Structure 1
């Protein structure tokens, strides 16, 4: 089953990169490779200060090996997630035994937002793998004062900090310190090894600090966030972390203390109800618990994110390995008839909901089907139906692996049918492919619109013009413009000769709504983008 679930998570490898964040990150790493500059990050034609460097360095390595492709962008993230699955198995096995370790891997690889994040790749797949790896090695480092696990734990912790910032210390430190505190292992809690781990972690994040220092702190004249004198190191340690948490930094949001409570219901699907039950049972029987790493690492991070003023659904992915271990242990500990009945009813209800979701989405959206997708989905359905022959009726294992099979079918539908069809409506990537085929080597210029997907998929750099720059460029020769019909009409009125090359449909796939999903109303929900050839007018 684990092999099938690994295959399942690779099925989104070649789906077009989703805008805005995914395509933005892909373009930043592409710029690094093209300019052989791995210390500085640029986007939209200027210095970019937001995320740390580590994921972009991984993407750059992949680009150097495989080229500027969709798969090269997503592959490192998926590999880090699978590394996290491996460490989830190792940690679960150490804490609760072999079967818990294996089932925890199945739960992690089928959690809905893990699957989504392996398609819409951002920093979270990297962070998910790095955090559980750091916790595992620091847990193992308690055997002796100094050993290779301490160095590996510090290395993974440092890479996690270079992926998301110092807040990555919360789940790692929370798991280790929480367990030692609740078990009253005071000598272990205040052991000198943690000071040494901190020193090594500080050493491992020096590449990030150097990058920020030389790009921003050495150049206070640079305009960042609309002002000069911005310190990259201060932003890394404070503004990007505590500034977002308290809503005082340059990037702001609106927090809801209950946001992650209802987010987990779908993000950890099909195991979310069992997770909540596992946490309740764990707290009730906390005095009998054999470990507190998972509950402390998971709930402390959950609580911190719930108090933050800046919240996004994918933030919780990083503690899903802890949740997977807790859930697997809970399921394998079920013995009372009432709890076993609760487990069966809950999971079969969720499976029915998932099946209905596939049918409703299929008939409502009407995607273009392909035989490969249908074949894979039918194989998943066949496995679902044949599981009783292998596992027997009524067993916990049957319900568990049927849930995995149902998740497999749902993911195959999303990754092989629905998402590939939807990406036809992301105009930036479709324009880039059209321009690469019919205008090879010719730059495309933005005019009053933007598209990070166009910038990544176009084989030549995009151009950005102001009014004077466009006038000068058109005077020197025809210019390919990516714009809207309204802006093309405005240029026509200003004396340009705008010849329509092709019209493209546009919708922000990351912001799905019912009018778009419904094929009957989709036409009114999409916008239009034009690829036009701008020439001097007859009177110019």
Structure 2
């Protein structure tokens, strides 16, 4: 009788097979849906500030063919290093000045980072189930999908960082020379993307690994020395560029000044500077749909920390050390978290596979309930957005969303394990959401970005950068993108001396507010404007939205 009971339990308990946790067909469909979301995101207009700003800076680099200097508008740019701008500028050289060409390097590198996450997880755990789930978790994290259309330096930084950790781990575990050389090069590329923060994350992971695996002797290897040489050689182009443009001040800045300046908040602002839990609550949306799983997994592992696995000490330890340290920074932005998402994905996936294999425990059910709850609450919010705030209007898009929903329902029904069903609900929810966002929400949202709409008007009117001005320190990177030049910045007093027709783009002013007595107005265009990267409830609510909108004008003045 006991034998029959055991057989029945094994048949109905959703015990995970060591070779088949989530079917191949499920992964294929989920990645196809990811491709749909990313494909639409690739074609979205550029959002201000950073994405449009970085695109115009890379465009200026390609136009001038001055790859050794970075300019922001017409002035020197002493902030982020060169790698992201180099890659986008090279892409422009190959494909022209297209929004998708700007995003392409970040997309390709992020997909490589997904592969690197898979390979690192497999190297650490020798478990394909964990490796596959790790890659899926990383690539479907909300902030990662967002970073591939609102492209900044962080997509490139995250990619090179995890590729470096993978190769350095390969060197330490297998004593492989190629791992040391590629680890050094990828570390250099990450350093050349956003500075010393990459070295800190890579170093933290490897430190815990060396400490708990007692790999100290391997640090004396000649192969490691060659890896360090590769790092130095890989960093030289970026250091040389800083030296050419800024002299020793540039070298000092990128070696320590940038990191200490951002950490102390010097020359930067940030409303979150006194919030020492900023990244812990930011994580709740940024790592969706896996954020609660990460927190629950962390709790369980820390609670049972009497016999820690060195793998978990490295991944969780490096992640928590980074988050805690960054919470004391006086300058915080949500996308700074992205760099540790691959490590979080590996830690969470390994814990989840382990938990769901324990079919006698009630814990898997608790983990399942959290994901179903997230999806249910998310769909309620999505219904509000899709029906009221930013309604679905395109019949083809509605068809794509219905087909997506149908595919996810089929996957759910055909799932053979509790984990597979839960992953389908979780990843399916975030992919369905991002298909809606990239096909409907963001296109409608960008209609309120004045620089985008007026930039298209300027391009249609063939307005040249030399004839277009902005006053009172205002700017629009989207405008610069569309006219493929740098809008001139000036004062109203200086404009009054002009004798030839010119154009002005201005925020929050009526044409009559700046019109001189001896000017006549030619063409003029007015659009609504809102800072779309800072959404609030009044803007999202269509009834109160008009109250928070401001005016933006593109005006032609003709001196008499």
Instruction: Provide the TM-score with structure 2 as the length reference.
Output: 0.88
* Compared CA separation, residues 127 and 377, structure 1 to 2 (3 A): same
- Aligned with residue 304 of structure 1, among 303, 325, 328: 325
Does the 8 Å CA contact 1:151/1:197 hold for their aligned counterparts?
yes
* Compared CA separation, residues 191 and 245, structure 1 to 2 (3 A): farther
Q: What is the Cα deviation at residue 518 of structure 1?
A: 1.2
* Compared CA separation, residues 284 and 422, structure 1 to 2 (3 A): same
- Structure 1 unaligned residues grouped into runs of 5+: 219-230
Question: Quick check: 1:201 aligned with 2:231?
Answer: yes
Does the 8 Å CA contact 1:294/1:325 hold for their aligned counterparts?
yes
Question: Quick check: 1:462 aligned with 2:487?
Answer: yes
RMSD: 2.0
* Compared CA separation, residues 301 and 203, structure 1 to 2 (3 A): same
Equivalent residue for 2:419?
A: 396
- Structure 2 unaligned residues grouped into runs of 5+: 1-29
Equivalent residue for 2:191?
A: 161
Spell out the pairing of 1:30-45 with structure 2 (5 A cutoff): 30-45=59-74
Instruction: Provide the TM-score with structure 1 as the length reference.
Output: 0.92
Spell out the pairing of 1:131-530 with structure 2 (5 A cutoff): 131-143=161-173, 147-189=177-219, 191=221, 193-217=223-247, 231-247=249-265, 249-253=266-270, 254-286=273-305, 287-289=307-309, 291=311, 292-334=313-355, 335=358, 336-367=360-391, 369-392=393-416, 395-439=418-462, 441=464, 443-448=467-472, 449-467=474-492, 469-473=494-498, 475=499, 477-484=500-507, 486=509, 488-530=511-553
Q: What is the Cα deviation at residue 341 of structure 1?
A: 1.2
Aligned length in residues: 521
- Distance in 2 of aligned mates of 1:354 and 1:187: 50
Does the 8 Å CA contact 1:165/1:236 hold for their aligned counterparts?
yes
Structure 1 residues 467-517: Cα deviation after superposition (integer angstroms, max 9, x where no partner): 4642344x0x21121113626323225542234521111111101111211
Q: What is the Cα deviation at residue 288 of structure 1?
A: 4.8
Structure 1 residues 68-90: Cα deviation after superposition (integer angstroms, max 9, x where no partner): 11111111111111111010111
- Aligned with residue 118 of structure 1, among 131, 135, 148: 148
Alignment partner of 2:204: what SS? helix
Structure 1 residues 224-251: Cα deviation after superposition (integer angstroms, max 9, x where no partner): xxxxxxx11222122210122133x333
Structure 1 residues 383-417: Cα deviation after superposition (integer angstroms, max 9, x where no partner): 2221243214x622111122111111111111111
Does the 8 Å CA contact 1:135/1:172 hold for their aligned counterparts?
yes
Structure 1 residues 250-273: Cα deviation after superposition (integer angstroms, max 9, x where no partner): 335424221111111111111111
Does the 8 Å CA contact 1:444/1:479 hold for their aligned counterparts?
yes
Does the 8 Å CA contact 1:504/1:530 hold for their aligned counterparts?
yes
Alignment partner of 1:510: what SS? coil
Question: Quick check: 1:98 aligned with 2:116?
Answer: no
Q: What is the Cα deviation at residue 332 of structure 1?
A: 1.1
